[in-house]
Amino acid sequence: MMDHDGRTEGGFRLYSEGDLQRLKFIRYGRKLGFSLEAIRELLSIRVDPAHHTCQESKAIVEKRLSEVAQMIAELQTMQRSLRHLSDACCGDSHS
């Protein structure tokens, strides 16, 4: 959880460096296609490791690694398809 008590004279919230790191992690995770629930689980390990056993943490991480492997496989399939389309195009002429 982020503490939002601090504010500037103009009313803007002040965030700690830790808050900023969490926000960057969330944004990056979303950019990579992770759900907010998946990001929440990963953050819970990072922010509050005392409330997770090693086995719980490992299970969460392994699940995410499996998702990443699936994403990579799908991206490789897309890359092959795009490469095939690119190779089929001869340039200026339409065929």
Which pLDDT tens digit goes with each residue over 23-57?
A: 998 999 898 888 898 888 888 887 777 777 888 87
Q: Which domains does the chain have, with CATH numbers?
A: 24-86 (1.10.1660.10)
Tokens of 42: 């990963």
pLDDT of the residue at 69: 94
Q: What is the pTM of this model?
A: 0.58
**Distance of alpha carbon 79 from alpha carbon 38, whole angstroms:** 26
**Distance of alpha carbon 76 from alpha carbon 52, whole angstroms:** 34
Mean predicted confidence (pLDDT) in 49-73: 85
Per DSSP, the three-state class of 21 is: helix
Mean predicted confidence (pLDDT) in 52-76: 88
- DSSP class of residue 13 equals B
Tokens of 67: 């998702």
pLDDT of the residue at 79: 97
Per the prediction, the chain carries an average pLDDT of 83
pLDDT of the residue at 26: 92
Q: Which residue has the tokens 């490791």?
A: 49
